[in-house]
């Protein structure tokens, strides 16, 4: 939990440039040199992103234990210039492939247990999958879009969107493979999220929360499998984890 002094310092570092952005925007309306006004506005936006980036880089440098592995998160200047985001994770879990598949493919109930999903409606079903209309909100963005969900039970759930308002494309992919030979109720899951924002500003803001959102989403599925099937047969172990 953040202490009051930390929050106060963060407020000062973030709110001050935001106020300057608002002032710069007003000056743009009365400034005949539009290019100069735009440059001022871009500089102010960069300062906001740097305030966010520096703060969360310090916070992200702390170690977080997930199972038996250690995860570190950093925000770099390259992140601030990249509209593409990619997150992959391979994990050994104490549930069978079928148990994991049943939850991940249950898109119509995502709004009940997946963080930030406010609505999930399934339609246009066929032999290979279906389409789903989703409304997803994560700080400070909201997006309504239609995904094409491809299914290959109990090995694959793949969701793709190419017509979002904020995204050029969005891909979520879950792959399940056999786990430990002597523990049938176990499997290895490969989780991948990759997307490209249309706006660099949206990408930079979302980047601050990217790791947290991905971890929360994956954990929500594990918790839902546990709710439906009981405790896992073994403790989860993160095998690999990567973001770019």
CATH number of domain containing 181: 3.30.530.20
For residue 20, being part of any structural domain is answered with no
Average pLDDT, the chain: 75
Report the relative pairing of strands 187-197 and 84-93 from DSSP bridges: antiparallel
pLDDT band at 163 (very low <50, low <70, confident <90, very high): confident
Question: Residue 227: its pLDDT value, please?
Answer: 98
Average pLDDT over residues 71-78: 48
- Contact at 8 Å (CB) between 41 and 25? yes
For residue 45, being part of any structural domain is answered with no
Question: Residue 79: its pLDDT value, please?
Answer: 53
Question: Residue 81: its pLDDT value, please?
Answer: 62
- Going by C-alpha positions, the residue among 18, 35, 19, 25 that lies closest to residue 205 is 18
For residue 77, being part of any structural domain is answered with no
- Contact at 8 Å (CB) between 189 and 176? yes
For residue 31, being part of any structural domain is answered with no
pLDDT 10s digits, 184-228: 999 999 999 998 877 777 667 766 777 777 888 899 999 999 999
Average pLDDT over residues 89-94: 97
Domain extent at residue 115: 84-243
Count, residues in the chain: 244
Helix (H) or strand (E) holding 142: strand 141-152
- Contact at 8 Å (CB) between 74 and 231? no
Q: What is the pTM of this model?
A: 0.67
- Contact at 8 Å (CB) between 151 and 129? yes
For residue 5, being part of any structural domain is answered with no
Map residue 61 onto helix, strand or coil. coil
Q: Say how many domains are in the chain.
A: 1
Average pLDDT over residues 110-138: 93
For residue 26, being part of any structural domain is answered with no
For residue 33, being part of any structural domain is answered with no
For residue 10, being part of any structural domain is answered with no
Question: Residue 59: its pLDDT value, please?
Answer: 38
């Amino acid at each position: 939990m953040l202490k009051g002094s930390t929050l106060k310092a963060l407020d000062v570092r973030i709110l001050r440039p935001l106020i300057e952005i608002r002032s710069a925007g007003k000056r743009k309306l009365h400034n005949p040199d539009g290019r100069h006004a735009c440059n001022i506005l871009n500089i102010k936006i960069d300062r906001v992103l740097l305030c966010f980036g520096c703060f969360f880089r310090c916070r992200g440098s702390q170690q977080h234990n997930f199972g038996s592995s250690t995860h570190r998160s950093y925000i770099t200047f390259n992140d601030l210039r990249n509209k593409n985001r990619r997150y992959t994770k391979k994990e050994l879990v104490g549930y069978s492939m079928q148990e994991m598949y049943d939850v991940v493919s249950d898109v119509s109930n995502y709004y009940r247990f997946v963080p930030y999903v406010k609505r999930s409606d399934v339609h246009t079903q066929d032999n290979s999958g279906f389409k789903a209309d989703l409304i997803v909100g994560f700080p400070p963005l909201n997006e309504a879009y239609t995904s094409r969900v491809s299914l290959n039970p109990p090995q694959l759930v793949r969701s793709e969107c190419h017509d979002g308002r904020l995204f050029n494309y969005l891909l979520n992919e879950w792959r399940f493979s056999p786990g430990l030979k002597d523990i049938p109720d176990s499997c290895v899951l490969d989780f991948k999220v990759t997307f490209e924002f249309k706006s660099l500003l949206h990408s930079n803001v979302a980047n601050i929360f990217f790791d947290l959102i991905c971890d929360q989403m994956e954990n929500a599925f594990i918790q839902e499998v546990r709710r439906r099937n009981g405790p896992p047969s073994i403790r989860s172990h993160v095998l690999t984890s990567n973001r770019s």
